[in-house]
Structure 1
Amino acid sequence: MAQTLQNVLYLLSPGLSLRRDGLALRVEQDKQLKLSLPVHNLESVFVFGSDIYVSPSAMRLCWENGASICFFTDWGRLEARVEGVPQGSVLLRRDQHAAASSLSRTAALARSFVAGKLQNTRWLLARSARDALEDEDRGLLRTAADVQAYLLRELSRTEDNLDVIRGVEGRAAAIHFEVFGRHLRPAFRAAYPFDGRNRRPPRDAVNAVLSFLYALLRHDCVSALTATGLDPFVGFLHADRPGRESLALDLMEEFRPWVERLALTLLNRGELKPAQFVERDGGAVELTDVARKALVSAYQQRKMEEAVHPLFRETVRQGQLVFIQARLLSRALRSEVDYTPHLFS
């Protein structure tokens, strides 16, 4: 299965091959043409699973025309990204590295990323509490939202110590996922049991959906930071590790509740079916091709929805938000001002 959405080519089925045909890309299966499209219409190619072939000439055509190729596991974990030599502002990157070398600036930025996540998690909890069908669910979700508010106040008083800041974020996440199953409608809980966050690999359907959507979000954050001229590997909240896009993970934090709401909406509306998940030996749960296609489509549709930006008071698409935040982050690094996370309402 192959599809194109929002200038991104998704290769989802085992046995597909991607080859060059002049200035176009050909998607084939069993030597039969499935799709052909000009490379200038593409921004990225997403490859899911290990049994999909991308020819070297197709890779070259992509990076020569500014399109990246991202390789994901079956459950959506980003494993590799192939692109041309990145273009960016050396002065902006110097400012970024200088900020990363300053404990006070690193702590301030880390606080902002965590504050955005906690505030948006509180938004998600409050919305689910409002829509809850049972009093017990409503009470637990409201209590968890109140804890997020308490931790937000505690976060504002923390010293410039990254371990302390990360500790607040960890406690907030633990509370959030402790009640995460309460977001699901009672009628769906038997089909989608949830006993906490797990990954690499996910061991239940809910975690499989979350991991897949997080992977799509991570790619968007990498793209936004790279387009802005920032180094996605030099972060503030997340420690630097070889091969880890720490700044992209930082930027993701305030958007995780947005992705989680999409996952819950799809599950609560029955748009995903239990038959669209496969349990492998060892307990790993994977998405079928049909589930992946549904998630990709829903994610892209959500990005097309519009809202009024709280800072600029202009109508923007949801998919623009990570790019707007990347620009705000670059401004904060250049001017040494506070970074303002995006808050959903």
Structure 2
Amino acid sequence: MRKLLNTIYINSPEAYLALDGGNLVVIIDENKSRVPLVNIESIVSVGYRGVSPALMRYCTENKIGLAFVSRTGLLTCRLVGENNGNVLLRKTQYAVSESTDQALAIAQNFIVGKIYNQRWVIERMTRDHAARINVPQCKIISDELKQAITSCLAVTDIDSLRGIEGQAANRYDSVFGQFILQQAADFQFNGRSKRPPLDRVNALLSLTYTMLGHECAAALESVGLDAYVGFMHTDRPGRISLALDLMEELRAPLADRFVLRLVNQQIVNVKDFTVKENGAVLLTDDGRKKFFDAWQKRKNETMTHPYLNEKIEWGLIPYTQALLLSRYLRGDLDQYPPFLWK
């Protein structure tokens, strides 16, 4: 199994990134910091001053991911080097993406995994915090999601699948706010708002989804797949459609529960956010530092993969799912096994 390496998070918008030998140099005004790039697999920066050509070349040659994120939590740029893996695998991927039936079969498993994991978040909350949430309402939503899984398996076209997924997401969101057990007055959630996020919970969700999407794209590319050609999300210039597909089943266990941890364990608080004139809610520099520290710690925690039955770090889940997808496309598996969190 692949070893989980470290990610460097550059939190200052004023940072310029350069290379000195085998070190990343972070330049902010007259100050310079050096970080060895040994055992680094990714660099994520909220900076906008730029990066040196030497560092870009080093990252592509050493397969180090380099991504830039906006202060609102959107991925603005990813450096993509030479494709890995066998071109025959990517040709198979492209052919499957053009086949309505084959693409639907994979997309069904992505969405079954997503709804299953959303339901399990609800079930765990009703089990662990029954005195603090509306259990009857949550049970109704859980039953609806259970039925949605059955419906997903019966659809015959991708639009019907998208409709079921969207309805299930709305039902899940309708109770998600109840799972904020601490700081509830400061972290209210009444549904998703994205561009820009209009409350503190959405600001955290947007940044978390961006981090997860970047890591899904990097995982897919590391096994030789094209992150831009998906099976459910439509192709669009600059859109990492397959990474968005893969991300669906990982949203609830990796991203949503992480956001709940940030709030319920009071890792972040109201002082870690600022509100812009247009209503956009953003993390402050200190808030992003707390976020990135907690995200890296979460990635290093271990769990037993439900399909592989191996103990791995949470940060390797995107890679394991990308690997399983590649094995399915090669014909080594009868179907793509979604990540079903337990």
With the length of structure 2 as denominator, give the TM-score of the two structures. Answer: 0.94
How many angstroms apart in 2 are the aligned matches of 1:193 and 1:43?
A: 35
Q: Does 2:302 align with 1:306?
A: yes
Q: Confirm whether residue 98 of structure 1 aligns to residue 109 of structure 2.
A: no
Give the Å deviation of 1:122: 0.4
Q: Distance in 1 between matches of 2:261 and 2:232?
A: 29
**1:45 corresponds to which residue?**
43
Please give the alpha-carbon distance, in whole angstroms, between the structure 2 residues aligned to 1:37 and 1:268. Answer: 32
Alpha-carbon distance in structure 2 between the residues aligned to 1:309 and 1:207: 28
Is 1:286 paired with 2:282?
yes
Amino acid corresponding to residue 24 of structure 1 in structure 2:
N
| Mean Cα deviation higher: 118-127 or 6-15 | 6-15
Could you tell me which runs of 5 or more consecutive residues in structure 1 were left unpaired when the two chains were aligned.
none
- Residue type of the alignment partner of 2:53: P
Is 1:83 the counterpart of 2:80? The answer is: yes
Counterpart CA distance in 2 for 1:20 and 1:156 is 50
Give the CA deviation at 1:84.
2.2
Retained in 2: the 8 A contact 1:39–1:61?
Answer: no
Of 117, 120, 124, 2:117 maps to 120
Work out which of the residue numbers 165, 185, 189 in structure 2 matches 1:194: 189
SS in 2 for 1:321: helix
Q: Alpha-carbon deviations, 1:178-211, whole Å to 9, x = none?
A: 12111111x5221112121010110100000001
RMSD of aligned Cα (Å): 1.7
1:274 aligns with 2:266: no
AA matched with 2:226: D
Cα distance in 2 between the residues matched to 1:132 and 1:177: 18
Aligned to 2:318: 322
Are 1:68 and 2:68 an aligned pair? no
Q: What's 2:229 paired with?
A: 234
How far does residue 58 in structure 1 lie from its aligned partner after superposition? 2.4
Structure 2 CA distance for partners of 1:92 and 1:75, relative to 1, 3 Å: same
Partner deviation per Cα, 1:256-309 (whole Å, 9 max, x = no partner): 001101111221121111010100011000011222122212222122122222
Q: Equivalent residue for 2:17?
A: 18
Whether the aligned pair in 1 keeps the contact of 2:66 and 2:79 (CA below 8 Å) is yes
- Superposed, 1:132-151 pairs within 5 Å as 132=129, 134=131, 137-151=134-148
Where do residues 242-257 of structure 1 align in structure 2 (5 Å cutoff)? Answer: 242-257=237-252
Asked whether the 8 Å contact 1:192–1:206 carries over to 2, the reply is: yes
Compute the displacement of 1:6 (Å): 4.4
Q: Normalising by structure 1, what TM-score?
A: 0.93
Taking a change above 3 Å as real, the CA distance of residues 286 and 6 of structure 1, as seen in their structure-2 partners, is: farther
How many angstroms apart in 1 are the aligned matches of 2:114 and 2:339?
9
CA displacement at 1:88 relative to structure 2: 2.4
The count of residues paired between Structure 1 and Structure 2 equals: 337
Separation in structure 1 between the aligned mates of residue 259 and residue 203 of structure 2, nearest angstrom: 10
| Amino acid in structure 2 at the alignment position of 1:271 | I
Query: Match of 2:151, as an amino acid?
Result: E
Could you say which residue in structure 2 is the equivalent of 1:212?
A: 207
Q: Tell me the SS of whatever aligns to 1:20.
A: strand
* Alignment partner, residue 8 of structure 1: 7
The alignment partner of 1:43 has SS state of strand
Paired AA for residue 35 in structure 2: L
- Quick one: distance in 1 between partners of 2:13 and 2:301? 31
Deviations 1:205-261 (A, max 9, x none): 000000111111111101110010001111011111111011000100110001101
